[in-house]
Amino acid sequence: MVLRRRWTAALAALAGIMPATTAFAVFSGKTSTTGTWRAASVYPTGNLTDWGRNDSGQLGIGNTADSVSPVHVGSDTTWAGPATGGAFSCAVRSDGTLWCWGNNSSGQLGLGDTTNRLVPVQVGAVTTWNSVTTGNKYACALRTDGTLWCWGDNSSGQLGLGDNVNRSTPTQVGAFSRWQMAAAGGSHTCGVQQGNTVWCWGDNSSGQLGVGGTTNRAFPTQVLLLPAKSVSTGTAHTCAVRTDGLLFCWGNNSSGQLGVGDTVNRLIPAQVGPSKAWQGAPALGGAQSCGLQDGVLWCWGNNAFGQLGLGDTTNRLSPAQVDVVSTWASVTAGSTHTCGLRGGATVWCWGNNSSGQLGLGDTVSTTTPTQISGFSGSLVATGPDAFMTLSLA
């Protein structure tokens, strides 16, 4: 089929860049690692495992007990492209179905009600979902026809529907069918359309929409000066990799998470250093950012829990290299923790571990990357408001 050939080509093109995804914001084709998502047919598939906070059932294991080590989410082996929000999770399967579970106070599970779910529940009967991204209390997903659909909390206009009314089922964002990727932040959303144009909407209290000023937008609004190949969203900041490989960030910068050498918010995109070697899309957390260059991992911003992986708890205002390893395949950032994949499918986590979100079998925080012993994965994902981690294994 044409669709299959197209995604096979996309995967081949990405193979040398990001063999695995970064959460909330690493996407390709008609999607958005975090931060930033890619199509189900591009993701690896397998068993879904997770660990960390589970107070609303966001681990999907049938109870509300935290887990300090990886646990299986059911027995299905066709999971692809998982994402986790504030206290809920969603994932697509290889058959194009979409499933969500956990907190549902704002209808963020897309099931037509506000009742929490402790195990994955299918969202409607649609079988053409490509990918999903999750914000604090809302979610957005792409279909194979390039349309974007959002649901859940809409208090800041983050659903892009022109109002502030919550939705409890997927609702199409405009009439566009040109979306290539999207990323959900705390309460703002950004996406890339065909032609490499970047669009953002929702909360803009810190300038995280990049359109100048701090007025919220309830419709997708174009971010100028950025022909981009990817976009990523944190709780209140945004970054995009331009088509020439340069990295630009904007929004909240209270901890230096924009990487521009100071703590001044930016209302429009600001260039992060001179490098044109940024790969995929950076991973943005609560107030930290990380990205890859030729397998080398760089992090910056808030480091109160050691989430930058630099062996201390000092914030960094510009990208700092994490250890001397050059075999990082992907990175994903949570609220106050970070995880990544190295060559050989080993999973490493660091930072805040108060809920066991590092998967190390305890609740002891660590300031350097620490391997989850005896565990390997093909993808690892968390989100800017999450205290848990998901992985395909």
Which tens digit of pLDDT belongs to each residue from 61-115? 999 999 999 999 999 999 999 999 999 999 999 999 999 999 999 999 999 999 9
Q: What mean pLDDT comes out for the span 367-393? A: 96
pLDDT at 74: 95
pLDDT at 45: 78
User: Which are the contacts of 171, defined by CB distance < 8 A and separation ≥ 6?
Assistant: 149, 150, 151, 159, 161
Domain ranges of the chain: 2-392
pLDDT at 225: 77
Residues 113-163 have pLDDT tens digits of: 999 999 999 999 999 999 999 999 999 999 999 999 999 999 999 999 999
What pTM did the predictor assign? 0.90
- Nearest CA-CA partner of 92 in 82, 102, 101: 82
Query: Does residue 10 surpass a pLDDT of 70?
Result: no
Whole-angstrom Cα distance, residue 158 to residue 216?
9
Distance of CA 359 to the CA centre of its chain: 19
Whole-angstrom Cα distance, residue 314 to residue 316?
7
CATH class as words, domain 2-392: mainly beta
Q: At 13, is the pLDDT very low, low, confident or very high (cuts 50, 70, 90)?
A: very low
